[in-house]
């Protein structure tokens, strides 16, 4: 297999969404390197230095975003796509996480089963396990939301899904959009948990029959609805070659200079915030606060920097009017401004406008 190198960084925490009980454990977290490459034959983009043995998903993995009304609206949009294509179908959600979206579908009347090793709860429709080809789970349609970017061999995994489902059925796939990452120079969206980085064109080469595709969540995510039986090995054409931006990391020093001049908070203690804090620390900046509305993250510590996550009220009481809040995801800006009574300086790191 030959490939072309796009981007490299060393010593990233292998888990961005795993929470730690104390700072020392968070600082001692396992790390891995990122060697982002594009395969010459398939055109797929992945981390050539990825080692799947470093990752073990368990109950300390916290990636539930549905605490936010903005994200719940996104899930409503996804449900509308599901309904458009899968009405009256039985559903299987592979990688259902904590089960929020699955329960949304159940409340809407769908017959749906979920499987995920990080599941916590007692819903009998959810199975706490990793999906395997011999899991014995089948459905009219499959849902794969924010799973495929974590899988070392995504084509083989999709083949296993198709085989387990009798080679038939449709599939809804949702993943981060690497075109958005490159357009916004969103270096805080390149992290070890994500071994794959997809474009819409990749899915149109992966499936011979695509019923629907596009971007959602402000362009940050891709979705595709495709026929499982049409899965094929993608073939890279000249137009599929990625032009990775040479100035991808150029904004780090600008962010660091802003953070050095005032007390600083990061709003978002998930993947983006973990990587943003790590790069700032490497640039010599100490972040004062990491804020997250997810109660499962609060008072715990993030990987790489060992910073503690605070609830909004705790951080706000220690900040002064005009202090800087780095907003990790501009989709949440109105929600953040409302929660903080518009009294701080809000810097949208994915807009590159300040």
**What is the tens place of the pLDDT at every residue in 20-39?**
999 999 999 999 999 999 99
Confidence of residue 354 (pLDDT cuts 50, 70, 90): very low
Which residue spans of the chain are classified as CATH 3.40.50.20?
252-348
Determine which of 47-61, 162-176, 211-225, 256-270 has the lowest per-residue pLDDT on average.
47-61
Q: Which CATH architecture has domain 1-249?
A: 3-Layer(aba) Sandwich (3.40)
Mean pLDDT value of segment 40-66: 78
* Sign, CA torsion 267/268/269/273: negative
C-alpha–C-alpha distance, residues 77 and 94, integer Å: 19
Residue 204 above 90 pLDDT?
A: yes
Confidence of residue 168 (pLDDT cuts 50, 70, 90): very high
pLDDT at 55: 77
Rounded mean pLDDT of the chain? 91
What own/partner pairs with CB < 8 Å and gap ≥ 24 does 177-182 have? 177/215, 177/219, 177/220, 177/221, 177/222, 178/45, 178/242, 180/215, 180/219, 180/220, 182/242, 182/244, 182/245, 182/248
103: DSSP letter: H
Query: Strand pairing of 45-47 and 196-197?
Result: antiparallel
pLDDT above 90 covers what percent of the chain? 72
Residue 9 above 80 pLDDT?
A: yes
Query: Closest by alpha carbon to 178, among 37, 331, 53?
Result: 37
Which residue spans of the chain are classified as CATH 3.40.50.150?
1-249
Mean pLDDT value of segment 233-238: 94
pLDDT at 61: 58
pLDDT at 207: 98
Q: Which CATH architecture has domain 252-348?
A: 3-Layer(aba) Sandwich (3.40)
Residue 90 above 50 pLDDT?
A: yes
């Amino acid at each position: 297999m030959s490939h072309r190198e796009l981007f490299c960084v060393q010593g990233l925490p292998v888990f961005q969404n795993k929470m730690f009980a104390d700072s020392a454990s968070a600082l001692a977290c396992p790390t891995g390197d990122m060697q982002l490459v594009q395969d010459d034959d398939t055109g797929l983009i992945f981390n050539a230095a990825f080692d799947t043995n470093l990752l073990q998903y368990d109950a300390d993995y916290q990636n539930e975003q549905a605490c936010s009304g903005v994200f719940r609206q996104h899930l409503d949009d996804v449900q509308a796509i599901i309904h458009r294509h899968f009405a009256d179908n039985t559903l299987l959600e592979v990688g259902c996480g904590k089960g929020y979206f699955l329960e949304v579908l159940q409340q809407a009347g769908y017959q749906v089963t979920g499987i995920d090793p990080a599941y916590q709860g007692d819903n009998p429709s959810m199975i706490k396990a990793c999906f395997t080809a011999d899991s014995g789970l089948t459905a009219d349609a499959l849902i794969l939301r924010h799973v495929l970017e974590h899988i070392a061999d995504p084509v083989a995994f999709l083949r296993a899904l198709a085989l387990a489902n009798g080679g038939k059925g449709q599939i809804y796939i949702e993943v981060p959009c690497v075109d958005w990452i490159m357009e916004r120079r969103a270096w805080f969206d390149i992290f070890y948990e994500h071994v794959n980085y997809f474009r819409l064109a990749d899915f149109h080469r992966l499936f011979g029959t695509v019923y629907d595709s596009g971007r959602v969540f402000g362009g940050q995510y891709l979705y595709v609805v495709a026929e499982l039986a049409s899965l094929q090995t993608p073939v890279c054409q000249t137009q599929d070659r990625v032009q990775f931006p040479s100035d991808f990391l150029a904004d780090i020093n600008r962010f660091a200079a802003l953070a050095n001049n005032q007390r600083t908070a990061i709003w978002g203690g998930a993947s983006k915030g973990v990587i943003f804090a790590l790069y700032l620390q490497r640039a010599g900046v100490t972040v004062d606060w990491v804020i997250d509305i997810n109660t499962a993250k609060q008072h715990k510590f993030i990987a790489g920097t060992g910073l503690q996550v605070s609830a909004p009220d705790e951080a706000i009481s220690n900040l002064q009017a005009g202090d800087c809040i780095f907003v990790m995801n501009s989709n949440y800006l109105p929600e953040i401004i409302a929660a903080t009574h518009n009294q701080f300086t809000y810097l949208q790191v994915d807009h590159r406008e300040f």
